[in-house]
Structure 1
Amino acid sequence: MSDVKVNNLGLNKISKKMQSELIECIDNYRPLQDIVKEISKAGGIALLVGGAVRDLFLGIAIKDLDIEVYGLSPERLEEVLKKFGPVSLVGKSFGVFRSHRLDVDFSVPRKDSSGRKPEVEIDPFMSFEDAFSRRDLTINAMGIDLLSYDLVDPFDGQKDLANKTLSCPDKTKFTEDPLRFYRVMQFIGRFEMYPDNELNDICKNMDISKVSTERISSEFEKLFLKSRRPSLGIRWLKDIDRLREILPQLADTVEIKQEPKWHPEGDVFEHTMQCVDAAANINRGCAIFEIEGEGSREKDLEKLIIIYAALCHDLGKFLATTIVDGKIKSIGHERVGVKLAKKLLSKITKNKDLIEAAVKLVQYHMVPCQLVDSNSKPAAYKRLAAKLAPNVTMQMIAKICLADKQGRNPESQEPLTSDSDTIEKFLKISKDAHVDKKPEAAVLLGRDLISEIKPGPQMGKLLKLAYKIQIDQGIIDKQELKNIVMQELVSVGDK
């Protein structure tokens, strides 16, 4: 790669440009450079390892620093670190220390059998090659000496980065941790890199049955939140014949045909993949949507809900698709898909709120376009906003509808980027009706009826009726609404 050159000793050294970028990053973690020098004085070598090195080569901002220290026992390393502030032992058997002043992890080279309860053997004097062979992929098996800026790359990770290839340093060690299968999936999407033949063969056959839903969920979240084209990871599952094992309801959509007039892109699976990528693109920012709370966990959850809904929105076509008068129809697929979406999402997340919200989007994903096409009145928009609440907004369902419209590219596997006129109109009417972010608040509340009727099912029915009248007839006078529903109560009592 262009950022690597060879010095007179024959060691790879990162370029001046990369050194400058790394120094700038390290300056945010003062006194890290002083710690590195102290480690060297004690006879150790401090290497920046893992994802930080990979991201430096890819030009991605480094967020977390992991430093592996060679030549010092855990006890000696702890002594050095304590000179610079409080240190906690993440686990003595793991040889990992956290410097609270820097929020940086320092580890000692180790061998382990991976998995959830690994057996660990610490070896501070292990060779770089042996230490890095335990890492999942060659692109993560590189290190940078933080004093000399020499690059340690025993498995040609730079070359694989340049060739956009995913490869494992050690076949046997790779299979010891089945989570690595899912890491390959999300790296394919995140970095648009592809496994070599050996890694594909390994992943086709490795046992992944013991990976917990929590760990699977974490990898899917990274795939969906960090990828420009998350579909690449899902397509790979199909390519290696493991889609049905992992996402069986999605596998059922393969070769389910669609009416070419509306879906020239191909079968339901292809449409879904393009929709997932469109949703990811919309999540990154789209001119017709307001941007709020970017980077927050709440915003990330909303993005996940939207992509999960895109993944599941047409699952019902597997059961609902028929031929009517020579045309392919999928009438009611959004309702049929509710149960299928719940089943699929329960395999990749345990977040019940997330599932509930995504499924609600699946159920109503056709409605925005229907409202616009039928020139519906604002009351219909208000009713939809009330049905979606409290965990889904009109902005969110508009995003799903837009992704659905953009996932129809017959020319390539990448989604379209236009066709937003209908969605813009939907959003404008929603905003004019003041329900684009939340439903219209009920005017008549339980406390307004407490003097007339006791709390219970009957009061609930009256409040529901009052809200319906408020939305349908535009009546927002509290006393008028109260009079209407109380008259309804009297009428029922007279029957």
Structure 2
Amino acid sequence: MSKIKHARLILQSFINSGYKAYVVGGAVRDLMLGITHSDIDICTNAQPKEILGIAAKQGWKTELVGAAFGSVMVIVDGKPYDVTTFRREEYGEDSHRPTKVEFGALLEEDLARRDFTINTLCLDVYGDLIDLFGGLNDLRMGIIKSVGDPHLRFAEDALRMFRAARFSAQLGFAMDKAIFPAMVANLYRVRGLSVERVRNEIEKTLLTKYAGRGLNLMLTSGLLNQECRSREANSDIYVPIMPELSHLYELPQNSRYHHLDTWRHVINAVETIPQKLTLRWAALLHDIAKGCAGIRGTNEYGEPTDHGHDKAGALMASVMLKRLKVDRIVAERVTWLIANHMHGPQPEIKSVVKWLRRRSKEFSQFEQFKEAVEELFQLYRADGLATRHKLNCRFNDLEELVFSVLSALPFFPAQLAIKGGDIAAKIGAGPQVGKIQKNFLERIQCGQLENTIDALENALESQLKRSISTKKITQSQ
């Protein structure tokens, strides 16, 4: 049974018990747009205890995910549905959570507390649309408009400003003219948001089709220049979000190679690269050090240069991603990509082998290394497509050569045809095993040795004989 059919089943169970219930929010919005929506939210005038009782009668499992806010997770056939009681809210100093919640509201009162009109659309059990705030027209017009006064909505919950940017990026919608000034007026409220919530909205925005729209709004409104709250050692500190991006706006580049300023170049790269978190972060931050003191200079023609922006940018990105509490594995890969995005090999085998050997030393497993190289070439491609000359005409040949070599040659001991344990059985365990494996790898990469069991066993025997011979000569002296 599909999720929407399950949702109708839930609605009917509430109606049979004498309550009202509707599918509401993003699922309805996306249904109107012909987009598949995985999460389905339901609103009802039944209170949490009553929701639990109705679910129990149906044999459905439940979880209290936000009882104070009237929210119960109802699980039907293993699929979760967020069922929330109609409510009114009052906000205070907290930048995201209401200080007072009252149940027993009417549907119109419940919808009036929501963020944007396109998220107030409801469907009843018969599939009829309920549109109390003009959300359908705004959906047709492609506009993000607040429910009521945007100043009040953003003052209540500062995260809504980041959500506005995210929805614009996700749907490709324009902003109602009242949104931007309301965001600027309420920037001070961002300080009370947790760094985790802010980062989540930024990452959701990064992964959208029109990420540039959302990122541009976050930058030009001043959202990225604000501080937010980070919990460290049982106390709150305030950390900058991403003010380092601001100087890229309208920052000129060498016009011989670039037709876009640095910020527009970055945005172009973000939207060109595949929608994967490591890649989107890398594209956003790959030129972060351009224009910085000690990096920005001029060449003999008076044109701007940014020598060393890759290494400096990797250090800057590492600091930024750590304070935003980005997943450690993601952050490490992003900084590696930024540090290496200016250093590809020449399109000939010796150069490629040397380039791969040098970079493989930063990884412990082949699969990790292969994935990193694949991502690096995706960054090369997105970066190149955002320049005046697009891509070097030999780029595809280089990419093909790199992955051909990567498939043909071993770069890690685990890829050798002979195991470390077999080597240790003949020469004894210890650091000498690693030295022999390194020697075998280099000889195979140089074409001096084949990666077969017979060839490596013969090479090992020869090395043992040489070692014994050398030992005898030394003893005789």
1:398 is aligned with what amino acid?
F
User: Where does 1:285-364 land on structure 2 (aligned, <5 Å)?
Assistant: 303-319=276-292, 320-326=295-301, 327-364=303-340
2:147 is aligned with what amino acid?
P
- Identity, % of aligned positions: 21
Shift of the 29–53 alpha-carbon distance from structure 1 to 2, 3 Å rule, reads closer
Shift of 1:333: 2.2
How far apart, CA to CA, are the structure 2 residues paired with 1:489 and 1:66?
75
How far apart, CA to CA, are the structure 1 residues paired with 2:5 and 2:217?
42
How far apart, CA to CA, are the structure 2 residues paired with 1:328 and 1:491?
59
Secondary structure (helix, strand or coil) at the match of 2:249 reads coil
Shift of the 182–488 alpha-carbon distance from structure 1 to 2, 3 Å rule, reads farther
Task: Tell me which of 257, 260, 275 is aligned to 2:252.
Answer: 257
How far apart, CA to CA, are the structure 2 residues paired with 1:346 and 1:53?
36
> What's the TM-score, normalizing by structure 2?
0.79
Verify the 8 A CA contact 2:283 2:383 in the aligned structure 1. Answer: yes
Verify the 8 A CA contact 2:162 2:218 in the aligned structure 1. Answer: no
Secondary structure (helix, strand or coil) at the match of 2:37 reads coil
Structure 1 vs Structure 2 CA RMSD: 3.4
Aligned length: 433
Verify the 8 A CA contact 1:49 1:67 in the aligned structure 2. Answer: yes
Shift of 1:366: 2.3
2:42 is aligned with what amino acid?
I
* Equivalent in the alignment of 2:236: none
Task: Tell me which of 149, 165, 173 is aligned to 2:143.
Answer: 165
Structure 1: segments with no counterpart, 5+ residues: 1-25, 284-302, 410-415
Shift of 1:249: 2.3
Shift of the 43–127 alpha-carbon distance from structure 1 to 2, 3 Å rule, reads same
Shift of the 387–255 alpha-carbon distance from structure 1 to 2, 3 Å rule, reads farther
How far apart, CA to CA, are the structure 1 residues paired with 2:359 and 2:406?
10
* Equivalent in the alignment of 1:288: none
Shift of the 31–163 alpha-carbon distance from structure 1 to 2, 3 Å rule, reads closer
Secondary structure (helix, strand or coil) at the match of 1:105 reads strand
1:278 aligns with 2:250: no
Secondary structure (helix, strand or coil) at the match of 1:231 reads helix
Shift of the 182–483 alpha-carbon distance from structure 1 to 2, 3 Å rule, reads farther
Shift of the 67–339 alpha-carbon distance from structure 1 to 2, 3 Å rule, reads same
* Equivalent in the alignment of 2:204: 222
Shift of the 75–460 alpha-carbon distance from structure 1 to 2, 3 Å rule, reads same
Task: Tell me which of 39, 54, 57 is aligned to 2:29.
Answer: 54
Mean Cα displacement is larger for which, 428-437 or 190-199?
428-437
1:248 aligns with 2:243: yes
1:81 aligns with 2:55: yes
Shift of the 312–77 alpha-carbon distance from structure 1 to 2, 3 Å rule, reads closer
* Equivalent in the alignment of 1:408: 387
How far apart, CA to CA, are the structure 1 residues paired with 2:359 and 2:87?
55
How far apart, CA to CA, are the structure 1 residues paired with 2:7 and 2:409?
45
Shift of 1:32: 4.2
User: Where does 1:436-451 land on structure 2 (aligned, <5 Å)?
Assistant: 439=411, 441-442=415-416, 446-447=420-421, 450=424
* Equivalent in the alignment of 2:360: 386
Secondary structure (helix, strand or coil) at the match of 2:58 reads coil
Shift of the 437–161 alpha-carbon distance from structure 1 to 2, 3 Å rule, reads farther
* Equivalent in the alignment of 1:297: none
* Equivalent in the alignment of 2:20: 45
Question: Runs of 4 or more off by more than 6 Å in structure 1?
Answer: 483-494
* Equivalent in the alignment of 1:413: none
Higher normalized contact order (CA 8 Å, seq sep 6+, divided by chain length): 1
Verify the 8 A CA contact 1:385 1:438 in the aligned structure 2. Answer: no
Mean Cα displacement is larger for which, 399-408 or 170-179?
170-179
* Equivalent in the alignment of 1:431: 403
* Equivalent in the alignment of 2:231: none
Verify the 8 A CA contact 1:132 1:141 in the aligned structure 2. Answer: yes
User: Where does 1:58-207 land on structure 2 (aligned, <5 Å)?
Assistant: 58-70=33-45, 72-90=46-64, 91-102=66-77, 103-112=80-89, 113=91, 118-124=98-104, 126-147=105-126, 149-153=128-132, 155-170=133-148, 171-204=151-184, 205-206=186-187, 207=189
Shift of the 224–490 alpha-carbon distance from structure 1 to 2, 3 Å rule, reads farther
1:21-50 Cα deviation digits (max 9, x unpaired): xxxxx8545554344334223332211111
1:186-212 Cα deviation digits (max 9, x unpaired): 112111223333321222233212322
How far apart, CA to CA, are the structure 1 residues paired with 2:352 and 2:458?
21
Verify the 8 A CA contact 1:385 1:435 in the aligned structure 2. Answer: no
How far apart, CA to CA, are the structure 2 residues paired with 1:380 and 1:147?
66
1:105 is aligned with what amino acid?
D
Shift of 1:183: 1.3
Shift of the 356–480 alpha-carbon distance from structure 1 to 2, 3 Å rule, reads farther
1:201 is aligned with what amino acid?
P
Structure 2: segments with no counterpart, 5+ residues: 227-240
